[in-house]
Amino acid sequence: MGKSVLIVDDDAPMRSFLSAVLREEGHRVVEAGNGTEGLAKLSAGEFDLVVTDLRMPGLSGLDLLREGKRASPVSNWIIVTAYGSIGSAVEAMKAGASDYLTKPFGSPEELRHVVRRVLREADKEARISLLSEELGSRFPPVETIFLGERMEPVHGLVREVAPTPATVLITGASGTGKELVARAIHRLSPRRNAPFVAVHLSSLPEALLESELFGHERGAFTGASAARKGRFELAGGGTLFLDEIGEIAPAVQVKLLRVLQEREIERVGGALPIPVDVRVLAATNRDLRAQVASGRFREDLFYRLNVFPIELPPLAQRREAILPLAEYFREKFSAAFGKRVTGFSEEAGSALRDYGWPGNVRELQNVIERAVILSGGSVEAEHLNLEPLALPSSPPGGILRETEREAIRNVLSDVGGNRKNAARILGISLRTLQYRIKEYGL
């Protein structure tokens, strides 16, 4: 679908050329003969894209960009400049332009290519922002996230730090709700109406991580057919959540430290520093101090991230929250699956309270999702499939405990580490096996 485009140029033939090419692309084009006229049109209505000449009498293209960003924050900008004025184009990029073109153009296709790329990137940003809002609206309310005596101090810290620009490091075991707390900080901050962009660093291969965070220019590497913004730019004005920060390679640690210090990024294959206005929240289930001591994590980056630490207790230590969270997930999945699941039976509630929850809030969510699928009315204990996780009562190092440990080790070795096959051979559930592996340090 065509976009609304404003062309601003004091050169009438050039203005007509730009308009004709973009109208052929199906865009709705409005023309302005100088910067002042262009600013008036921007103030009167929003445009998806502004293409403006850099050098114009009166209000220059650069001044128009600065003023126009305030009049129409949603507009994307392409600056057109003579070949000898690249320095001014760089200044325009720092001021917020998406791209620039040098004239004379090699062909109309050059203009089409840049416009298509800028609009494509803008659409992607809009989708990420919308998805962020939709995901945020599906998370538990703040009062549910911080329910329980052990979470009261955490809630107090969140309320204190949220209105500030401080970097926050959230620690805790896997599944304790670190992203939930990060989203709560964002929703309580002045940046609440800007994007919340989450990056799960452990899921990204090292070769792609730098490009994912900082973006890349066209031709930066094989397959980079177009320039691409990274997560720092996509989170502009908002919050960037870096999950599993302890997983990143030393080379990326150096570049991340520089971004936190200088508040600007360089895309892979790029030479221009790009300012970024982003609040960084990070999370890890690792002991970063131990990683610093062993040389696996940079000490200076640790102190940059650890400005305001928040530690989350495991779900087993905040049992008051188990049933309210379970109710929240029941309502969420009932609506998602179009089922009328009315609540939990007394036995199901007892099973939820008594379970050890080694996987914390994430495991609770998965258990309730499965239970809602299986349930035809209320959730019964059998729908939860929560097996007792109590270990044998033998003392540490006892014969029974050591026998079980060695049996699990041997079976895992025989099946090449395949946990599903190991659980089947041992005659226990996969969840119980995973708990045993964690408990025995295998």
CATH class, range 399-440: mainly alpha
pLDDT recorded at residue 61: 87
What's the whole-number mean pLDDT along residues 331-346? 88
User: Would you say the CATH fold of 399-440 matches that of 316-384?
Assistant: no
Cβ neighbors of 233 (< 8 A, separation 6 or more) are 215, 265, 274, 276
Is 4-121 CATH 3.20.20.70? no
Q: CA-CA distance, 305 to 100, in Å (whole number)?
A: 35
* pLDDT category of residue 86 using cuts at 50, 70 and 90: low
pLDDT recorded at residue 412: 82
Q: Is the pLDDT at 133 greater than 50, yes or no?
A: no
DSSP 216: B
pLDDT recorded at residue 136: 47
**Which pTM was predicted?**
0.58
Q: CA-CA distance, 354 to 410, in Å (whole number)?
A: 31
What's the whole-number mean pLDDT along residues 100-117? 84
Topology (CATH level 3) of domain 139-313: Rossmann fold (3.40.50)
Q: Report the relative pairing of strands 274-275 and 264-265 from DSSP bridges.
A: antiparallel
CATH class, range 316-384: mainly alpha
With H, G, I as helix, E, B as strand and everything else as coil, classify residue 197. Answer: strand
C-alpha distances in Å from residue 259, one per residue of 108, 214, 265, 281, 338: 37, 9, 6, 14, 45
Q: CA-CA distance, 294 to 27, in Å (whole number)?
A: 57
For the chain, domain boundaries: 4-121, 139-313, 316-384, 399-440
Q: Is the pLDDT at 132 greater than 70, yes or no?
A: no
Cα R_g (the chain), whole angstroms: 27
pLDDT recorded at residue 400: 55
Sheet strands side by side (includes 28-32): 28-32, 4-8, 49-53, 76-82, 99-103
Report whether 236 contacts 277 (CB < 8 A).
yes
Report whether 425 contacts 411 (CB < 8 A).
yes
* Residue % of the chain over a pLDDT of 90: 28
pLDDT recorded at residue 139: 63
